[in-house]
Amino acid sequence: MSNTKLALAVLWPAFWTGLPIKLALTLLFLALGMMKLEALFGVAFLLLLSSPVTVLAMPFLIGLFDLHLSEGAGLSLVFLFSIPIDMWAVGLSARTVFIERLQLEPQDGMAVQLWGKIAVVGGACVVALWAVEGFVTGLAKSVAHAVLEMELLKALPVAERISLELTLWGSVSTITLVVLLVLSLWAVGAVIQMQARQARPLAESYQKLVHRWDLMRVPADQGLILTAFTGAGVVMTLLFWSGLPSTTPHPHETYQQPVAKVAPVLKPVEVLNKSERVLTQAESAVEALEKKKAEESSQSKKASKGKPGPKESSAATATDAPVAKTAVSASPSLKQ
Amino acid sequence: MNTTPGTTTQPSAVEKILAFVDERVGLKAMQAKMLNEPVPGGSRWAYVFGSVLLFIFIMQAVTGILLMFYYVPTADHAYASTQYIIHEVDYGWFLLSYHFWGSTAMVVCVFAHMSQVFLWGAYKKPRELIWLVGLALFGIVMGFGFTGYLLPWDQRAYWATTVGVEIMDKTPVVGDFMARFLKGGPTPGQMTLSRFFVIHVMILPAALMGLAGLHLFLFRAAGPAGPFRGSPEELKAKTDYFFPRQIWKDIVAMATVFASICILAFWEPVVLLEEATPDPGDYHPEPEWYFLFLFQLLRLKIFSGEFGQFLGAIALPGAFMALLAALPFIDRDPERNIFKRPIALIGWIVVMASILIFTVSAIINREFLD
Amino acid sequence: MQPKLKSKVRAADRDVGEVTRVIMDPLSHDISHIVVSLNGAGERQVPMGYVQAVTEDLVQLRPPSSEVEALPPFKRDDYVTTHEVEIAHLEEKIHVTPGEVLVPLPDLEKSVKRRTFFANMTHAIGFLIGLPLVFPVLRYLMKPMYAPFDNGWLKIGNVGKIKSEDIGVQYKYKKQVKEAYMPEQEIDKNVWVLKATPAVLDKIYQGKDMEFRDPIGNTIWVNKKDVPYVAFSGKCPHLGCGYKWRTHKLLGQVFLCPCHLSIYDASGKVLDGPAPRPLDPLPIRVSAGGDIQIIDMEFKAGTKAQVRIV
């Protein structure tokens, strides 16, 4: 089997095998606020997807190329967790390929060994790929731009210009990327071939081989794996619930959040005592006024025309506004 | 489901209930017929997209129903109720963002599913009917996206819909009638919102469920096509049943899609623009991302003018859909190996590349609009 | 045992042919006839009553061959196959094919352990997809169900309106209500205020100040037992109707609810009718100028215990 084909046969399933677990971790860290993804979301996804080869390349990409994917420790943690996840995924994938496609016996410890070699070689390829692709794309973009600036094309309208320019540098960029990918796969494939050469051949029928790698996926202790898996999932869910923000992390700039009415701390006894004092003060003031009024009315001929009691006392209160007002204003700030 | 060898112990309560139902309904036989479908060449990850689409639809229905607890489809409260969901209802932002990104996931998976079927040649005899029903389902999914987009009633929603319906107006003969039917009048307003709401929430879900059921039935009637290459010995060695292996792959894919949509909801939660007004102001109308390529196409000079717009908006997409519908009847060669069908392969690449180029062009074009 | 297709058929005297078809009765789901091909001389429909014994490859008939041949010829057009009709559970009763038709079990499906592992893992993952949604969805749906209380004081009028003691006086007021995203609305509410004599006051307070607490237990307000003004919630504790102050033939001046005729005295105590508890007093304070303020509360209708809901 050719190097590129072999690399693809091992890496493609390994990428996808690890992804669901990495995504679950990413989601958890997002909910806990440990990760804030930036605009290059798609790039982050692709790097995470191809993580056996990108894990060791990440520090270089961030350092050398100023790649800024996220805020917070979350993404780095996911890449860290990727290491054991990928060791398992690469192991599973490689063993399957060895058994079915190459008809070779996988060795013990192959998973970790292969992971290590793929991470180093793949990592180097990713860094090189990034550099070359970046350079070529930049060059293609400026050439395409220059082409569009030509006199011949000056009359072309905006929409056509955009598509033409995009196609020009896009096709160059894509072809370069494909070529670089094939080369990288070839390099990784060579590493896997080296491992394959050390393996001894298997002489079983095709059916038996398929059966073997298929059953390889069934663990010896099902109950344990099942319980551990579900338990881990439940724990992660509980953490997810604890961290999930209940209102949007991107609120609209003009939206008025309802002002939470904080009930003022009431000291009821104090309040009521004060109110009592106010009332007794007001009562005594009213009594005094009524006495005064009675004296006045007994003197004056123009008595009030038998209006009911409350009206009199309110009239009295009105005239003695300053007393009443101070009494009223002395009551604490209960009035909202 | 249990194939444990018969023991002589007493049947448990569950087993008794199952036996009771089985006697009357034929449960065991039905289960066996549904689950024990041999997949030639074995279960494959490439086959998961149909089940994933079903999962996404169920999630959209669930989140959609939840949104309806607080959303009201009236022009005076649609915006406020949507903002209420986002800002005040506990986790409302998350459920709404899930619903929004779920629609993107649905379109992506529809493209993936159609591509997989096309590349595997699984539209050829005897699967022509499945393909046709599938195209109808594709139309329904696009309809969902288009009608749902209007509901928040912000500037983006209102103007994307206005422009979209105007484009549909260009259809010859029935265009004006269709546009007025959708708008519920000559111009967009409350009537439009009501119609789009009932289409989005009642008519399209019913149509989708009916057609999806038909799609599944026809698929079962024809049997899975299987891989397009492999010796009979290989295929036989790898054959397994739909349950458990393919279902297992389906559910892992569902979990992956579920996690991805949640992540997208965190990355870009739904943020509305200002409430819809008849004056677009500084806002440049734009449809959802999966219509952007059409939108950009219509900006080309060759599609200017009334006839040009008709050509670009109606004739060309219509002709393409007609070509897709005619595909099983035009392409009668039983060869299913994509590497031996150069026209098909190149055609697929050209179509995908064109859609990609025009979508990205539309995004670049935004900077040139001011 | 049911006769098998292709079995030989023997009459009393000799072999007559073989079973080519079997006819089932759609109601009883039993075999009613067998169709015997007379070695090339046509087919006869033979009722099961003629059958003496059935073995794996032979059907023994009681009558002689002449009687069998005398039977009317078989008319195929009078029949349809079981695949062309829908008769529930009919196929389960048919055991007429000799032997079995088999399909090989795929090699990979032969392992039970594999099957159970993937079945269980599928269930586990399905469970883990649904689980994260449970809590957010429940909280989402419950948002408006236990809205916090508004303990704001509302001015409802002045005590000047009350002319005599122990007489119910209705105060109508407007309350500003904002529900979710709806614009603020004004709703009409009413309470009944009483200027109580010490006797009635004592019946209401039972010698204790009335405390109003929030759900956590903090005191919101205390109605002192010697303040003569009492405000009753305008909703009847039976089922929430608005009640009135009326003169009753026998009981005198009472609160009377027109819906189900609950009757309360001036202290709010239930005199007659289906009310489960007395009228609900509200927090009240009267300013020095006689302005009455209340905290608007509503209580669950129809229960003995007083449970605040608004």
Tokens of residue A277, six digits: 């004092």
Per residue in A204-231, pLDDT (tens digit) is 888 888 888 888 888 889 999 999 999 9
| Band of residue A271 on the pLDDT scale cut at 50, 70, 90 | low
Q: What is the pLDDT of residues C33-58, one digit of tens each?
A: 999 999 888 899 999 999 999 988 89
Mean predicted confidence (pLDDT) in A62-74: 84
Q: Grade residue C107 by pLDDT with cuts at 50, 70 and 90.
A: confident
Chain B within 8 Å of C125 (Cβ-Cβ)?
yes
3-state secondary structure (DSSP) of residue B21: helix
Which uninterrupted H or E stretch holds B352?
helix B342-365
pLDDT at A306: 46
Show the DSSP H helices in A219-304 as ranges.
222-243, 268-299
A314/C290 CB distance under 8 A:
yes
**Chain C partners within 8 Å of B94 (Cβ):** 136
The answer to whether C51 and C60 have CB atoms below 8 angstroms apart is yes
Note whether C36 and C19 are within 8 A (CB): yes
pLDDT of residue C106: 83
Which two tokens mark B20? Answer: 């009771």
Copy the structure tokens of residue A76.
């780095």
Least CA distance to B80: which residue of chain C?
Answer: C181
Does residue C48 contact residue C33 with C-beta atoms inside 8 Å?
A: yes
A284 vs chain B: nearest CA distance in angstroms?
Answer: 51
The DSSP 8-state label assigned to residue A320 in this structure reads T
pLDDT band at A261 (very low <50, low <70, confident <90, very high): low
* CA dihedral sign, ordered C109, C112, C115, C117: negative
Q: How many CB atoms lie within 10 A of CB A91?
A: 20
CB contact under 8 A, A215 and C114: yes
Residue A56 pLDDT > 50, yes or no? yes
pLDDT at A324: 41
Q: What angle do CA A89, A91, A97 make, to 5 degrees?
A: 105
CB spacing of B87 vs A31 below 8 angstroms? no
pLDDT at residue B18 above 60?
Answer: yes
SS3 A147: helix
CA atoms of B200 and B198, how far apart (whole Å): 5
Asked if A336's CB is within 8 angstroms of C114's CB, the reply is no
The number of helices, as runs of H, and strands, as runs of E, in chain B is: 16, 2
Tokens of C257: 């609810």
Mean pLDDT of C105-131: 89
Helix axes A222-243, A3-31, angle to 10 degrees: 50
The rounded Cα A190 to chain-centroid distance in angstroms is 38
Q: Which residues of B218-257 are buried (b: 16+ CB within 10 A; e: fewer)?
A: bbeeeebbbbbebeeebbbbbbbbbbbbbbbbbbbbbbbb
- Tell me, yes or no, if A336 comes closer than 8 A to chain C by beta carbon: yes
Is residue A327 pLDDT above 90, yes or no?
no
Q: How many CB atoms lie within 10 A of CB C257?
A: 24
Tokens at residue B196, please? 């789009």
User: Quick one: average pLDDT of B215-232?
Assistant: 87
**Closest residue in A to C109 (Cα–Cα):** A211
Nearest to C181 among B26, B69, B80 (CB): B80
Collapse the DSSP code of A10 into the 3-class scheme (helix H, G, I; strand E, B; otherwise coil) and give the result.
helix
Instruction: Report the share of chain B in percent with pLDDT over 90.
Output: 65
Cis peptide, bond prior to residue B126, ω within 30 of zero: yes
SS3 A204: coil
Q: Is the CB of B251 less than 8 angstroms away from the CB of C125?
A: yes
The two tokens of residue A49 are: 């997807």
Name which of A30, A85, A148, A162 to mutate to probe chain B: the one with the most chain B Cβ atoms within 10 A of its Cβ.
A162
pLDDT band at A301 (very low <50, low <70, confident <90, very high): low
CB C274 within 8 A of CB C262: yes
B77 close to C (CB below 8 A): yes
Please tell me the predicted confidence (pLDDT) of residue A216: 86
Q: How far is CA A191 from the centre of its chain?
A: 36
Residues of chain B in contact with residue A206, where contact means CB-CB under 8 angstroms, are 233-234, 237
Cβ–Cβ contact A327 with C under 8 A? yes
Point out the residue among C111, C131, C285 whose CB comes nearest to the CB of A215: C111
Tell me how far apart the terminal alpha carbons of chain B are, to the nearest angstrom: 63
Please indicate if any CB of chain C lies within 8 Å of the CB of B252. yes
Please name the residues between 159 and 218 in chain A that touch chain C, using a CB distance below 8 Å. 207, 210-211, 214-215, 217-218
Which has the closest alpha carbon to A263: C148, C1, C138? C148
What percentage of chain C has pLDDT greater than the value 90?
A: 60
pLDDT at A310: 43
- The answer on pLDDT for B241 being more than 90 is no
Beta pairing class for C229-233 and C210-213: unpaired
Give C74-102 pLDDT, tens digit per residue.
999 999 998 888 888 888 888 888 888 89
**Distances from the Cα of C94 to the Cα of B100, C26, C87, C103, C133, angstroms:** 54, 12, 12, 20, 49
pLDDT value at position A259? 65
Average pLDDT, chain C: 91
Tell me which of A77 and A298 has the higher pLDDT: A77
* Integer angstrom CA distances of residue C43 from B22, B177, C79, C81: 39, 66, 14, 17
Span between the terminal Cα atoms of chain C, in Å: 76
pLDDT, tens digit (0-9, with 9 covering 90-100), for A83-137: 999 999 999 999 999 998 899 998 888 899 999 999 999 999 999 999 999 999 9
The DSSP-derived string for A57-72 is THHHHHHHH----EES
Q: At A313, is the pLDDT very low, low, confident or very high (cuts 50, 70, 90)? A: very low
C-alpha span between A101 and A15 (Å, rounded): 18
pTM higher than 0.90: no
Chains that touch C (3 or more CB pairs under 8 A): A, B
Whether chain B has a CB inside 8 Å of the CB on A72: the answer is: no
Q: Which chain C residue shows the shortest CA-CA distance from A326?
A: C288
- Is C153 at the interface with chain A, CB within 8 A? yes
Closest CA to B200 of B248, B269, B134, B152: B152
C108 in contact with B, Cβ within 8 Å = yes
User: Can you tell me the distance from the alpha carbon of C250 to that of C64, in angstroms, rounded to the nearest whole number?
Assistant: 103
Residue by residue, DSSP assigns A95-111 as HHHHHHTS-BPPPTTHH
The one-letter code for the residue type at C86 is E
Of B81, B241, B248, the CB nearest to C109: B241
Query: In Å, what is the CA distance from B201 to each residue of A274, B179, C236?
Result: 60, 20, 41
Residue A213 gets the label, from left (phi > 0), alpha (psi -120 to 50) or beta, of alpha
List subunits contacting chain A, requiring 3 or more Cβ pairs under 8 Å: B, C
Q: Chains A and C: how many Cβ contacts under 8 Å?
A: 92
Q: Phi then psi for A195, rounded to 5 degrees?
A: -65, -40
- What are the residues of chain B with a beta carbon less than 8 Å away from any beta carbon of chain A? 45, 83, 86-88, 90-94, 233-234, 236-238, 240, 252, 255-256, 259-260, 262-264, 266-272, 274, 296, 299-301, 357-358, 360-361, 364-365, 368
More confident residue, B115 or A332: B115
Residues of chain A positioned with their CB less than 8 A from the CB of C120: 222, 226
Q: Which of A291-295, C50-54, C134-138 has the lowest mean pLDDT?
A: A291-295
Cα–Cα distance, C215 to C146 (Å, whole number)? 11
CB contacts under 8 A, C 166-195 vs A, are none
CB contact under 8 A, A210 and C111: no
Kindly state the tokens that stand for A223. 């109950």
pLDDT tens readout for residues A133-166: 999 999 999 999 998 888 888 888 888 999 999 9
Average pLDDT value for chain A: 83
